[in-house]
Structure 1
Amino acid sequence: MTGFRRLSAIVLFAAVLASCASEPGGTNNPIMRPFQWFSYANGDDIRNVCVPGRNSRYRLIYNALYDEQVRTYDIVQLLTSKEATQVTRVFSGGINADWNLASSGFDPHATQQSREIISISDLVAIEQALIKSGFEQPAIKGQILHSDSFYWIAMVCRDGIFKYYAWTDRNADIKKLPFREVLAKGDETGVALVDPYAPTFPGRGSRYYNGRGGKTYFTMQVGDNGLIQ
């Protein structure tokens, strides 16, 4: 059972109460934020509009020790031109302080954010870098993503087909993944990407999610083509 599933069993009653008392602008409830993040990391919003004829959508997430830095890259191809928009967000200290899900859709408030127009050649370069990194392979079912580690997630919707993949230090050299460089071209946040290193911390069993800052630990598990809920 993943950390999210264990957490859901503990806070089920609180979640019901929160849903009944939710505000139009989203939630500041620290208990509910992990579930919002899970939905975002699973690409639920992309899946919901992934039908033939729609513009291609890309989302990449870099977890550089959850409590230190999380980076997200949302890229949408513009149907009426040979361009795409790349929105890059950098969250410092995890989603406890910076994340919000509005009722109208995902509305993350990042520590730093940039929105840039990238060319079709840049988008092709991202595609090629993903393929070179092994993205076209089937997702690794059962893969565990630890919040206190370094990993990448990528999801793409093209021509109505949704594809999901994740990289950890067990199946890749995180520091040398080819798409890091091409994503940097559309990243104007001004915040340096945290390179992987070996952190020192107590055993995972001694840590817990408290929703009030400090050390946060949870896991997510990859299934056939996304996260296991």
Structure 2
Amino acid sequence: MAAGLLALAGCTSVGPTDNPVARKLTWFSYLNGDDLRMRCGKDGTDRFRLVFNADYNRHVRTYDVVGDPERGGAAVEAHVIEATDLARITPADPFSAARGRKATLELSAAQYASFIGRLREDGAFDPPPNGLRLPSNGFYWLINGCRSGQWFFTAYPYPSSRFTDAGFPDLLRSIDPTGVAFPGLPEPEDAPRTLPSSGEVADGGVFFEIQVGRDGQGHYGLVGPTAPFGALMLSALPAD
């Protein structure tokens, strides 16, 4: 199992993917925005990544937004990964049930400006709660990216006023190109705040916990190296 956990977090993300194997191998790096950090400030392009975790084993959706410095708009690539739907497995593509749904759209300059303004009002460019721990069976948003050559990283845990007061989820719902509805939220008192104990796990799957903090250079992100595996606190059960 230890070797499997090393593999799970041992590769660097190169961006969004609908390949379920690559997604598992690079997930922590993708959450940390490692690929965005490497390009930040080098080409004058703003990039944003928004990830909604609604129990990792049941529903995850991601939005990668790339600004167009010449025309003022942006390109959006959205992915929705839900619990495996066995009815969608095809012999030609045995991974089809785990690929999720991918869709793209273009934002006009006005839409893009509204998106940036909404993130600013919601504190996306402000520091996140330091030391925040987020279990994979919980509900939260992670947002990171590069804006005007500056790296940013923040989080919105549920339940919290930071989560419920944020307006960007409604904006994303209004432009979402996937056609997949957002899942409902549990009551605040029922929302998971910690990983389930081994005796509480009924369906198997992968369980892990991430922690938000600063690195040695003062930049916010996930605590510990994300590729290769480092100080991320990970406890996992067989995925399939």
Q: Which of 105, 115, 122 is the aligned partner of 1:116? A: 105
Q: How does 1:209-220 map to 2 (within 5 A)?
A: 214-220=204-210
Look up the match of 1:145.
134
Change (3 A) 1:57 1:138: same
Look up the match of 2:46.
56
Q: Which of 163, 182, 186 is the aligned partner of 2:175? A: 186
Cα distance in 1 between the residues matched to 2:110 and 2:175: 12
User: Which range moves more in the overlay, 158-167 or 194-203?
Assistant: 194-203
Look up the match of 2:228.
none
Q: Please state if 1:134 is matched with 2:123.
A: yes
Cα distance in 2 between the residues matched to 1:39 and 1:155: 12
**TM-aligned CA deviation for residue 120 of structure 1:** 1.8
What one-letter code is carried by the residue in structure 2 that aligns with 1:177? A
With normalisation by structure 1, the TM-score equals 0.73
Cα distance in 2 between the residues matched to 1:136 and 1:14: 32
Specify the SS of the correspondent of 1:189.
coil
Specify the SS of the correspondent of 1:185.
helix
Q: Please state if 1:204 is matched with 2:196.
A: yes
- Identity within the alignment, %: 28
Cα deviation 1:166-189 (Å, max 9, x = unaligned): 010254353552001222233111
Cα distance in 1 between the residues matched to 2:195 and 2:135: 13
Contact between 1:88 and 1:115, CA under 8 Å: does it hold in 2? Answer: yes
Change (3 A) 1:59 1:14: closer
With normalisation by structure 2, the TM-score equals 0.70
Specify the SS of the correspondent of 1:168.
strand
Cα distance in 2 between the residues matched to 1:173 and 1:160: 26
What one-letter code is carried by the residue in structure 1 that aligns with 2:52? Y
Aligned length: 195
Contact between 1:59 and 1:72, CA under 8 Å: does it hold in 2? Answer: yes
What one-letter code is carried by the residue in structure 2 that aligns with 1:137? D
Cα distance in 1 between the residues matched to 2:99 and 2:68: 24
What one-letter code is carried by the residue in structure 1 that aligns with 2:46? S
CA RMSD in angstroms comes to 3.3
Specify the SS of the correspondent of 2:161.
coil
Look up the match of 2:88.
none
Cα deviation 1:114-140 (Å, max 9, x = unaligned): 110011222222222222222232122
Specify the SS of the correspondent of 2:181.
coil
Contact between 2:50 and 2:141, CA under 8 Å: does it hold in 1? Answer: yes
Specify the SS of the correspondent of 1:157.
strand
Change (3 A) 1:203 1:86: closer
Determine which structure has greater relative contact order: mean sequence separation of CA pairs < 8 Å that are 6+ residues apart, divided by chain length.
1
Cα distance in 1 between the residues matched to 2:25 and 2:165: 30
Contact between 1:175 and 1:195, CA under 8 Å: does it hold in 2? Answer: no
Contact between 1:150 and 1:168, CA under 8 Å: does it hold in 2? Answer: yes
Cα distance in 2 between the residues matched to 1:28 and 1:115: 19
Look up the match of 1:174.
163
